[in-house]
Homo-oligomer: A and B are copies of this chain.
Amino acid sequence: MKSIDNFKSVIDKYEIIFFDAFGVIKTYQGLVPGIEKTFAYLEQQNKEYYIVTNDASRSPAQLAESYHKKGLNAITADRVISSGMLTKEYLDLKVNDGIVAYLGTPESSHYIESSGLKTLPVSQIDSSNIDKVSAMIFLDDEGFDWCNDLNKTVNLLRKRTIPVIVANTDHAYPLSVNDVSIAIGGIASMIENIVGKKFIRFGKPDSQMFMFAYDLIREYRPVSKKQIVMVGDTLQTDILGGNKFGLDTVLVLSGNTLPGEAETRINATGIAPTYICENAVVQLDGLGF
């Protein structure tokens, strides 16, 4: 059986740490207890760290602010790599004008607006503007009427051959210890199946997510993939994606994968992390570090 590793010993071997957000740094109850010690240690050791998250509901600045409100000031906007940022990059590169129709809250769409592009909720698409729609984006499961706007989306995509971006690959997300909520990625798969067209998905385990983070770092310093470790709670996204990109990986047991089932799931799926740790909390001794 694979043994449980000490998280501090693991990250001591790497220069740069990528963290998944949900199940690693926070849960539906708030911050993972003690997680602030991890970031204090990383700062003290001059190690770099990034949050790599399948979240397109808010901008990096808004995501960072949500950590500050919980008392974790170490996570600043430039530390956040989200699937929303890949969506924005795609629009900047490939969609030059027209209307970007979206499903999500107004805040989720704000961030991806740019010169030449106007975002409009699906509810406001009608015969007067449908021909100007140049892309469709699935951003968040909130902010729209499911029955009306999902049916409207199906018919928009039957009529127009335009790029369709799914900015969150998750099919569900946890709401409480017992309940989950359908995520926009699950809704997008239903509609993709109905219209029979191929959507573009940004988010772990897709490599483009890791590449985006890797490129951001390389803009100001040289780095090798061997110096980076990915820390996550989900085999199918964090660990599979990290492995495929060539990174070492740490599975933590504080979220999606419970301590009693980790080994069974690793053997069943064939997705093996480099290390398994109880959680991502650095346990510091009494004498400083």
Contact = CB atoms under 8 A, between A and B. Distances in A.
Interface of A: 89-90, 93-94, 145-147, 150-151, 154-155, 157-159, 161-164, 171-172, 178-182, 186-187, 189-191, 193-200, 206-208, 211, 225-226, 236, 240, 243-248, 266-272
Contact of A272 (B89, B163, B171, B269): B163
A241 B225 CA distance: 23
A178 B157 CA distance: 12
A243 B200 contact: yes
A77 to B, nearest CB: 22
A198 B268 CA distance: 9
B93 A225 contact: yes
Specify the main secondary structure of chain A where it touches its partner.
Answer: helix
B246 A94 contact: yes
A190 B197 contact: no
Among A150, A171, A244, A269, which residue has the most Cβ atoms of chain B within 10 A? A244
B89 A246 contact: yes
Q: 9 shortest A-B CB distances, which residue pairs?
A: A197-B270, A146-B146, A93-B246, A190-B190, A207-B208, A146-B147, A155-B179, A200-B244, A172-B194
B161 A270 contact: yes
15 contacts: A93-B225, A93-B226, A94-B243, A94-B248, A154-B172, A154-B180, A154-B181, A155-B179, A157-B270, A164-B270, A172-B194, A186-B190, A197-B268, A200-B240, A211-B211
Nearest to A240: B198
Contacts of A147: 145-146
Contact of A182 (B154, B161, B164): B154
Contacts of A89: 246
A236 B197 CA distance: 11
A193 B198 contact: no
Contacts of A211: 207-208, 211
A96 to B, nearest CB: 11
B146 A198 contact: no
Most chain B CB atoms below 10 A, which of A154, A197, A198: A198
Contacts of A90: 244, 246
A158 B186 contact: no
